[in-house]
Amino acid sequence: MLSKNILKNNQLLFLCLLIVIIYSNGFASDNIEIEIIYPKDTQTISAVDSTFILGNIPDVNGYHLSSFNINERPVNVHEDGGFIGFIPITQGIFIFYVEAKYQIDKDYFKKNPNIEKEITLIKTIQTTVPSPIKSLPLDSLRIKGEYKISAENRYLTTGDRVLLSLHGTPKCKAFASIPGVVDSIPMSESNPQFQPYWGESVFGAGAVPDSMKIQGIYFGFYDIKATDSMSDAKIIYHLKNENKEFLAWQLISNNVIDRADIYQLLNMPETTLTFESFGTIFINDSFFPVTVEFTDSIQTIRYQPRKGYFSIFQPKGVKALAIASEGDWYKLQLAPNQYAWANKNSVRLLPKGILPSKSYLSVIRTFNSQNNLKIQFPLSGKHPFKIIEINRKEIKIQLYGVISDTDWIRYDPGDELLDYAVWNQPEPEVYELTLYLKDNIWGYDSYYEGNNFIFQLNKAPKDIEDLDGKRIVIDPGHSSDKGSVGPTGLTEADANLAISLKVREELTKKGAIVIMTRDDKRHVNLYDRPSIAKANSADLFISIHNNALPDGVNPFVNNGTSVYYYHPHSIELGRNVHAELMKELKLDNYGFYHGNLAVNRPTQYPAILVECAFMILPEQEALLKTEKFQKKIAKGIRKGIEEFLEDFEDD
Ligand SMILES: [Zn+2]
């Protein structure tokens, strides 16, 4: 089919004629059409002014391409048929009109003098471009809703701050109330607000168009007092048009309405609109506090619901006191002044009356073995913890709910990794041990053996200088989830696999033991990939990917090779691999990043993720199909690892 879209009548007629032309001349076949890879028909595009469209056009026997346009703009086509265009868009229903014209070749025309000299292929893609939020007009009093929609259910306690926000007619008076608790919480109109538009700000030029600022956003707050108590309440917002004269003057000076309307506005009785919050609040409710226990070792705790990680990999059985909740999240009190949030499905509630244990830590011992150094903290329960890498030779362990009674730190005489350790109690119930190492951090693990917290420092592999005998996990990103797709349909999963097999070859030649998370098209879950590495005692982990962009970001400006790490102890590996890939591939430098990626979060070994090239660019997709380019990537990665290993002990 050439198109499934709504077209103007003349376009439809034209298409019917076109089909007739093509079929009557015997070109009819399944692939004689333009294929659009992205965006898909009926898709919603989250972009403001321009976005990219990619796909491919077919070869037509006896003809050559004479012009190729998307929405009447010429777009380059790669020799393998792939194209990408960066096209201006408008809000609402937006149609991409893709047109390829072919002229007959001279020789072919001589042999077939009665054939059409030119044929045209057309494809249309209908998308929706959502309109940005707009300021409400000044000529009436309206409330659009909460600006930041409140969580469904919030349990709040003394000292918590309730944040209020309302989107309504600008230049009015707003206030809020919580029935039974407080009558009139003042709110003020803020400066025009930016709309969140993350694509451009993270991956592009960082520009936010002025047209996206919104007026009429009111903010306020209320701090919960010890005497407040209320269950199942809504916040009530109020908006009052008390300065009508000011509004009228604004309208006159902006030529917005005529005199009759202004007369009407001035004579409008003073009104107050009210609006109920989406979420329900519970204040100082007896459900809390309650103790929760972690149910799985992958879980993380965060600084706020859905915000940055406070700590990762809290083992199963760790307990903490939940004191409040918001939507799907519990607020945990880890120590008198330490709070973090856990997702409700990462923990289970313990019966009322049980508290997390308090521990007094008196003796710390270290145990040396061939591959690691274990530091043992005997506690009377499983406490939450946080590990902070301060620099390449310094690491801090924080244990919450633990109080120092430390008289002894016993060093294993056989150990040469740990120089010394210093304990500290920076806050009530926050116990801290800082390790000063003689060598750089390779990796580490944190877990419980009974109620002993074990911090295990993994030693660098033996004979570090070269690849021989090193256990390297190569992870071809994606599988049945295809990842990004190139203009001619090459999937990222397949490109990643082809490259990874070349990387295996390259590393094996140098004596490395390569473990693949997959070596064929079978499906592997994201979280199974680090498990494979752990089960195989990986020394290093490298995940292979190829990049695409979010809607609205210009692919001609933003592309190239990039590398991502999570923990500081993976930085040197990442920098070396990035530098060698830049030398081998000679694509643009798309940057070196700290990135919160699941495959990079494990702590046991240095782990990086490589985005070799951009799938969505025709030239780079074409390169990715060639063995030559795949081998260059493999060589760059191999050399990067070698550089990292060689330098590891030097600094
Ligand atoms: Zn990917």
What confidence tens digit (pLDDT) does each residue in 205-232 have?
555 565 667 889 999 999 999 999 999 9
pLDDT, residue 554, reads 93
- By the 10 Å C-beta count (0-12 exposed, 13-18 middle, 19+ buried), 61 is classed as exposed
Is residue 479 predicted with pLDDT exceeding 60?
A: yes
Sign of CA dihedral 261, 263, 265, 267: negative
User: Cα separation of 99 and 71, whole Å?
Assistant: 8
Q: Which of 189-193, 424-428, 551-555 has the lowest mean pLDDT?
A: 189-193
Going from the Cα of 478 to the center of ligand 1, the distance in angstroms, rounded, reads: 6
pLDDT, residue 409, reads 97
pLDDT, residue 310, reads 95
Is residue 11 predicted with pLDDT exceeding 60?
A: no
User: Cα separation of 536 and 559, whole Å?
Assistant: 34
Going from the Cα of 572 to the center of ligand 1, the distance in angstroms, rounded, reads: 22
Under 8 Å CB-to-CB from 445, ≥6 apart: which residues?
A: 454, 455, 456, 458, 603, 604
Going from the Cα of 562 to the center of ligand 1, the distance in angstroms, rounded, reads: 12
Cα angle 313, 316, 317 (rounded to 5 degrees) comes to 130
Going from the Cα of 581 to the center of ligand 1, the distance in angstroms, rounded, reads: 17
- By the 10 Å C-beta count (0-12 exposed, 13-18 middle, 19+ buried), 39 is classed as buried
pTM: 0.87
User: Cα separation of 617 and 37, whole Å?
Assistant: 12
For residues 616-633, average pLDDT: 98
Residue 636 token pair: 């760059």
Going from the Cα of 648 to the center of ligand 1, the distance in angstroms, rounded, reads: 29
Percent of the chain with pLDDT strictly greater than 90: 79
Going from the Cα of 41 to the center of ligand 1, the distance in angstroms, rounded, reads: 23
For residues 548-571, average pLDDT: 95
Going from the Cα of 278 to the center of ligand 1, the distance in angstroms, rounded, reads: 37
Percent of the chain with pLDDT strictly greater than 70: 89
Is residue 77 predicted with pLDDT exceeding 90?
A: yes
C-alpha separations of 645 from 391, 472, 593 in Å: 18, 12, 21
For residues 233-258, average pLDDT: 77
Confidence of residue 260 (pLDDT cuts 50, 70, 90): low
Going from the Cα of 86 to the center of ligand 1, the distance in angstroms, rounded, reads: 22
Confidence of residue 25 (pLDDT cuts 50, 70, 90): very low
- Residue 639: Cβ within 10 Å count: 18
pLDDT, residue 383, reads 98
Going from the Cα of 200 to the center of ligand 1, the distance in angstroms, rounded, reads: 19
pLDDT, residue 343, reads 96
Confidence of residue 234 (pLDDT cuts 50, 70, 90): very high
Q: Are 364 and 431 in contact (CB under 8 A)?
A: no
Q: C-alpha 554: how far from its chain's center?
A: 19
What one-letter code names the amino acid at 207?
A
Going from the Cα of 495 to the center of ligand 1, the distance in angstroms, rounded, reads: 10
Sheet holding 92-104, edge to edge: 73-74, 63-70, 92-104, 118-129
For residues 60-85, average pLDDT: 96
Confidence of residue 257 (pLDDT cuts 50, 70, 90): low
What one-letter code names the amino acid at 291?
T
Is residue 591 predicted with pLDDT exceeding 50?
A: yes
C-alpha separations of 476 from 496, 559, 613, 630 in Å: 5, 20, 14, 13
What one-letter code names the amino acid at 136?
L
Region of 353 please: left (phi>0), alpha (psi -120 to 50) or beta.
left
pLDDT, residue 98, reads 98
User: Cα separation of 490 and 499, whole Å?
Assistant: 13
Going from the Cα of 130 to the center of ligand 1, the distance in angstroms, rounded, reads: 26
pLDDT, residue 194, reads 72
Is residue 5 predicted with pLDDT exceeding 60?
A: no
Cα angle 581, 584, 587 (rounded to 5 degrees) comes to 75
Cα angle 338, 340, 345 (rounded to 5 degrees) comes to 150
Going from the Cα of 560 to the center of ligand 1, the distance in angstroms, rounded, reads: 14
Going from the Cα of 545 to the center of ligand 1, the distance in angstroms, rounded, reads: 5
C-alpha separations of 325 from 179, 317, 321, 344 in Å: 21, 20, 12, 9
- β-partners of residue 186 are 175
C-alpha separations of 276 from 144, 149, 231, 282 in Å: 11, 11, 16, 15
Going from the Cα of 118 to the center of ligand 1, the distance in angstroms, rounded, reads: 41
- Residue 321: Cβ within 10 Å count: 19
pLDDT, residue 137, reads 79
Q: Which of 253-262, 384-393, 569-578, 579-588 has the lowest mean pLDDT?
A: 253-262
For 480-531, write each residue's pLDDT tens digit.
999 999 999 999 999 999 999 999 999 999 999 999 999 999 999 999 999 9
Going from the Cα of 530 to the center of ligand 1, the distance in angstroms, rounded, reads: 16
Going from the Cα of 484 to the center of ligand 1, the distance in angstroms, rounded, reads: 7
Confidence of residue 241 (pLDDT cuts 50, 70, 90): confident
Q: Determine which helix (DSSP H) or strand (DSSP E) holds 623, and give its type and residue range.
A: helix 618-624
Is residue 446 predicted with pLDDT exceeding 80?
A: yes
pLDDT, residue 136, reads 86
Is residue 429 predicted with pLDDT exceeding 60?
A: yes
Going from the Cα of 583 to the center of ligand 1, the distance in angstroms, rounded, reads: 22
For residues 189-197, average pLDDT: 74
Q: Are 320 and 333 in contact (CB under 8 A)?
A: yes
Confidence of residue 108 (pLDDT cuts 50, 70, 90): very high
Going from the Cα of 162 to the center of ligand 1, the distance in angstroms, rounded, reads: 39
Going from the Cα of 54 to the center of ligand 1, the distance in angstroms, rounded, reads: 18
Is residue 170 predicted with pLDDT exceeding 50?
A: yes
Going from the Cα of 248 to the center of ligand 1, the distance in angstroms, rounded, reads: 55
End-to-end CA distance of the chain, in Å?
Answer: 62
Is residue 353 predicted with pLDDT exceeding 50?
A: yes
For residues 111-117, average pLDDT: 92
Q: How many CA atoms lie within 13 A of 91 on its CB side?
A: 8
Confidence of residue 264 (pLDDT cuts 50, 70, 90): low
Going from the Cα of 549 to the center of ligand 1, the distance in angstroms, rounded, reads: 11
Going from the Cα of 521 to the center of ligand 1, the distance in angstroms, rounded, reads: 15
C-alpha separations of 110 from 107, 188, 476, 552 in Å: 5, 78, 51, 46
